[in-house]
Structure 1
Amino acid sequence: MGHIAKNRDQLIARVRRIAGQVGAVERSIQAEAGCSETLHLVAAVRGAVAGLMDELVEEHLREHVAAEGLSDEERKAGADELSTVLRRHFR
């Protein structure tokens, strides 16, 4: 997916923020924080990962399924790739 290079820095920053959130969950568990606090941290991680997934799915659709100039074969390949990822995601 070479097109990700366009916003590579923003994606890396987003992934690093998610890594920081996961670290906060780990620290919360190590510190034996209240379950409510830890649950809120986990919910924040889940939301952040979902947001990243949404962004990447949208980009894939725009570049590999709906972009002008793609052949039917390329569109089908892009749709098949996305279908495989979404099946795995929603398990």
Structure 2
Amino acid sequence: MSHLMTPNPALLARVQRIAGQVAAIERSLAGGADCADLLHLVAATRGAIGGLMEKIVEEHLHAHVADPDLTPAARAEGARELMDAIRRYSK
């Protein structure tokens, strides 16, 4: 069930920013950065990933659970997929 079949520039931009943040963590680790600075970078990256997850969950919810044109079976499948993703993410 994909509603993101076409490129989504906003989501791609988020992923590119996250990739930059991960690269900054790698550079900091390789360069022997201070622990506090590393914690700040990791926390910021974790927040960015959380924001990306939130946006994708929201889009999935609208497209695969709340859309009034869905059949009850399609709605149930969308809800199941969403719960599976949330369970995996929250571990």
Aligned to 1:85: 85
- Structure with bigger RCO (C-alpha 8 Å, 6+ apart): 2
Unaligned runs of at least 5 residues, structure 2: none
Aligned-residue Cα RMSD (Å) equals 1.3
Which has more helix, going by share of residues?
1
Supply the distance in 2 between the matched residues of 1:7 and 1:53 (Cα, whole angstroms): 17
Q: What whole-Å deviation, never above 9, does each CA across 1:4-29 have from its counterpart, x for those lacking one?
A: 25661111111011000000000011
Unaligned runs of at least 5 residues, structure 1: none
Identical counterparts, % of pairs: 51
Taking structure 1 as the reference length, the TM-score comes to 0.93
Supply the distance in 2 between the matched residues of 1:5 and 1:17 (Cα, whole angstroms): 21
Pairs aligned (count): 91
Taking structure 2 as the reference length, the TM-score comes to 0.93
Runs of 4 or more above 4 Å deviation: none
